Amino acid sequence: MYDLNDIHQAFKLPKTKQPGQWRDSTKAFFENEGKIASVNLGRRGSQTLATQEALYAYAMWCDVEFYMVVVDAFTALTNGDIEEAQEIAQTVVSIHEQRATELYLQGHH
């Protein structure tokens, strides 16, 4: 299972897209199916563990472009192209940093 909190941090997604903010029927479906589980780690916080299918759903909830990159990266990994998957992931980080800057600048006109 994948920790959605790690993915949130790795891709520098906005706070509004933290796994704990995801509260819709899709998440409820995956929780009922046992494909998403929250684990309390005490002082270290918590983990939101998800299967690959639930990870795709989380990515779609975050952003359609992010979802497509996640699908592309997993496809590259599944096909054994680790370098391509790493390049895709790095591109996403760059795009999200650029978007965050643009949104910040738009808000300060």
pLDDT tens readout for residues 16-65: 999 999 999 999 999 999 999 998 888 877 889 999 899 889 989 988 88
Query: Who contacts 57 (Cβ-Cβ below 8 Å, separation ≥6)?
Result: 26, 27, 30
The pLDDT of residue 83 is 86
Adjacency order of strands within the sheet including 36-40: 2-3, 46-50, 36-40
**100 pLDDT tier (thresholds 50, 70, 90):** low
CA distance 100 to 105: 9
Quick one: tokens of 69? Answer: 């990159």
Do the beta carbons of residue 47 and residue 41 sit within 8 Å?
A: yes
pLDDT of residue 49: 93
The C-alpha atoms of residue 56 and residue 109 are separated, in whole angstroms, by 35
Instruction: Judge whether residue 5 has pLDDT over 80.
Output: yes
